[in-house]
A and B are shown apart, each in its own frame.
Chain A
Amino acid sequence: MELYKLSAGEISGKIKAGEITIRNTADFFRRRIEKFNPLVNAVVSLFDDPVFPEETSGSKLWGVPVLIKNNICIKDRKITCSSKILENYVSPYDASVISRIKKAGMVILGTVNMDEFAFGSSCETSSLGPTMNPWNRDYVPGGSSGGSAASVALGFSPLSLGSDTGGSIRQPASFCGVSGLKPTYGRVSRFGLVAFGSSLDQIGPLSRDIRDAAYMLDIISGFDSNDSTSSSQGVPDFSQSFDGKIKGLKIGLPKEYFVGGMSSQVNKRITKAINLLRSKGAEFTEISLPHTEYAVPAYYIISSSEASSNLSRFDGIRYGRRSSKGGLTGLYRGNRKEGFGKESKRRIMLGTFSLSSGYYEAYYLKALKVRSLIKQDFKQAFRHYDAIITPTSPTPAFKLGEKLDDPLSMYLSDIYTISSNLAGVPSLSIPCGFTEDLNLPVGLQIIADDFAELTLFRLAYAYQQSTEWHKMFPKGYE
């Protein structure tokens, strides 16, 4: 039995049953990473001394190895956000999700690659070099949580954590053929997640089997007194959604998403997935989310504005890379000029401009207004529908380097995922097959109302019950 092909739930079961030990399990995955990571550059830091739980816990994921995106703080570990400016930064504290993972007895194997500060959709803006798509290494894994998605696709760990500001979990999950969830804004504490767009960021799990993502969400969810924006909403037992009962669920298909720009290959896979769900009793109706076309510009203004401010702390004065340039202004300039990559600078410039006096009303405030209209679109839709289904991304993975110098086309890769962040609603991507021409994975996106992750899991589970896409592995890594 190949351990890496098991789900996280199965692995934990075997450890609890005494069939394998926690240490052997961790070693197995560590060896797998050592062997294959050089091919894909997904893991940026493999810990020599992973911490093992001292006591058993009732957690469904006790003993399961996990990889963490390079922007979630782990005490005494290097957390660089794949940026030069933090190249030697070691966090003195654990993010709240990390404390919870440790408490549940999961074993953190290391950190994984990402776009610098999560700015990107291809993992190519990382200062540590791009991650390759495991299914075809000439292609990008998506981003920004490209390392998280590629790792799970390769069986480096059955689960990983990513963060999603505009699609950064779902789009790479889609490109790498794994499941990825962006929880409701406020469901998971952001304390310890290095902020990109504070009003949009959420940490979420990536897995192959959707049940693993649900177990993980169960562990990391809930109010945190360190994060005022975390919600005190109760956390339901997500496993109650694994019953395959989707008969009568009303699902909206937003017409604005099924238009030109979507690749026909993607369209084919999505249509098949919809047909499968329909055959199991889900009811589909075309709906409208009328403000969809404004989502991308509003998102780039809001997220970049917040980012420009969030990244101000990286001045090289207290920590991080320090330039040899003299004088206070010279030092600031040197630190930031040498430390930030091109895309980070672009976002800082964009955000700084949008917030500048004289432009604030026309850009930032206007974007906020668009955001509340988009929120209303979803509120309106969820009055009548249980969920919304769309493709996760208009295209499958693109080639490395293909869009790196064309930011606008890169930004459009997130066109279907951005709205969920603006509205705050939970949304996930599950693998729904491969393109016929290039055999690259395609993702199906399911969106539900605030705190209705149960509905997402119910649909995803029903789909995975009847499909094998989430059990597929890329060839050449045996």
Chain B
Amino acid sequence: MNKFEPVIGLEVHVELETESKMFCRCPNIFGKAPNSLICPVCMGLPGVLPVLNKKALDLGTRAALALNCRIQKEIVFERKNYFYPDLPKGYQISQYVSPLGEEGFLEVRGRKVAINRVHLEEDAGKLIHKDRYSLVDLNRAGVPLLEIVSCPDLFSPEEAFIYLKELKLLLRYVGISNCDMEKGFLRCDANVSIKPKGRKELGVRTELKNMNSFSQVKEALAYEIKRQSSVLEEGSRVFQETRLWDEKLGKTKVMRSKEGSHDYRYFPEPDLVRFSVTDENISRQKELIGELPAVKKARFIKEYSLSENETEVILSSPFLGGFFEECLLKTDRTKKVVNWITGPLLETVNSKKMELSDIKVSAGNFVSLVEMMDRGEITNLTAKAILSDIIDKDADPEEIVREKGLSCVSNESELTEFVNRVIAENPKAVEDYKVGKSQALMFLVGRVMKLTQGKANPNKLKELFKSALS
């Protein structure tokens, strides 16, 4: 049906999780008051000099290795010269001629997507536009960035989307960044062109910017492919240009044409010496990479018979993956643990507006909670309440149950008393149940749950209500 096929390449920038910035000692922290994390070096004051943060080089090397790149043994930084108010020195220290890593790949749905290059550079500051003014915040200036450039080796917006998800997972797993796109820790520009099906030669590409989520990347690419197709179908031609994605309009708009493109006048940064990446350091970084998420995913599916979906949720953060495996060292109730991690644990994190890193409950206590519930010693509701209580401080759930008397009540005579009382107090619900409204039964059970603070065995209650009302 469609005469054209798209070719896509992605440029991803990732902020590295270092303690301090790339060339000075300012802390690398997000979300502080504007211009509170700055010093003469990252402000680009007259006379200052950069000094490389070796940790940035280590993390970059690790990422490049995880992306199967050939590692440059001698690291040279270069200056990329351009004027912009968020760029304090009037140049960005980057890498051009010899990037840290080259010729790697990332596995996406069983296919190796070629990575062209991985290089280190420093981030710029941020502009805040307010009324008639533009304000400059330099907290981000000098934060270490890793740029990962894929080859034009992605062939649909969907594939680009999955590439990004896999890339994010990988980078989180090797511990170089948490890749939070909302905070700008990961940014993505996309290059896309179309060509008649079957032809080898690539068409004229446009570069898309300003997408704030992976889904937007997908949408922007889909829009752009459509736009380029109709341009060609009209007999017109596609111009090489940079286009901005407008999320609200769902459209891309021209930002600048190629004629207006910069000559960055790269040249070797004379303020930095050459750094070598030693074989020793390469093997140390390789060790730190550990099991890659793609391998882990396959293993989880095979070893624990997890579904694709469950694996994805559990592997979405290195913490959860580790927590999950730690739990399984203590119990063989795999299914329950999976359900409780992907269910109540994450729900509690969300409802308490916590970060995964705030989870304090140990795998051991989490498992014993799940087991108590599974053995019917406490109800689901009680278990959830206890989880909410101990998730951010860790405590032994068995002790809590003992101390607070939260054991499940299954004793028939005890429960019958509550059943009778609730029937007496809720004639309307009783009536509803009798005319066949089955939800009324759940309402009545709920009333007892409330009276027993969630301790009553719900299955037992259902039975008792059914027989009492039959």
Contact = CB atoms under 8 A, between A and B. Distances in A.
Contacts of B255: none
B30 interface: no
B168 interface: no
Contact of B51 (A192, A228, A352): A228
B267 interface: yes
B85 A193 contact: no
A117 to B, nearest CB: 10
B291 to A, nearest CB: 36
B263 A356 contact: yes
Interface in A179-206: 190-195, 197-199
Interface in B28-71: 40, 43-52
B223 interface: no
Contacts, number: 97
Interface size for chain A: under 10, 10 to 19, 20 to 34, or 35 or more residues? 35 or more
Contacts of A73: 46-47
A317 B85 contact: yes
B90 A313 contact: yes
Nearest to B46: A194
A226 B49 CA distance: 7
B89 interface: yes
Contacts of A191: 47-49
B46 A86 contact: yes
Contact of A312 (B48, B50, B89, B263): B89
A405 B439 CA distance: 97
A29 B48 CA distance: 31
B185 interface: no
Nearest to A305: B267
B271 interface: yes
Contacts of A228: 49-52, 271-273
Interface in A353-388: 355-357, 360, 364
Contacts of B267: 305-306, 309, 355, 360, 364
A438 B11 CA distance: 67
Given A318-B88, A352-B265, A195 B81 contact: no
Contacts of A218: none
Given A93-B40, A198-B271, A312 B83 contact: yes
Contacts of A10: none
A92 interface: yes
A309 B46 contact: no
B119 interface: no
Contacts of A227: 49, 51
A136 interface: no
Interface string A289-318: 000000000000000011011011111011
A309 B265 contact: yes
Contacts of B88: 313, 318
Given A225-B51, A227-B49, A92 B263 contact: no
Contacts of B52: 228
A79 B46 contact: yes
Given A328-B85, A355-B265, A92 B273 contact: no
A411 interface: no
B270 interface: yes
Interface in B264-302: 265-267, 270-273
12 contacts: A93-B45, A194-B46, A226-B49, A229-B49, A308-B265, A309-B81, A311-B90, A312-B81, A312-B89, A314-B46, A318-B88, A352-B265
Interface of B: 40, 43-52, 79, 81, 83, 85, 88-91, 136, 263, 265-267, 270-273
Given A225-B51, A313-B44, A355-B266, 11 more contacts: A79-B47, A91-B46, A191-B48, A194-B47, A198-B270, A227-B51, A306-B267, A309-B79, A309-B81, A309-B90, A315-B90
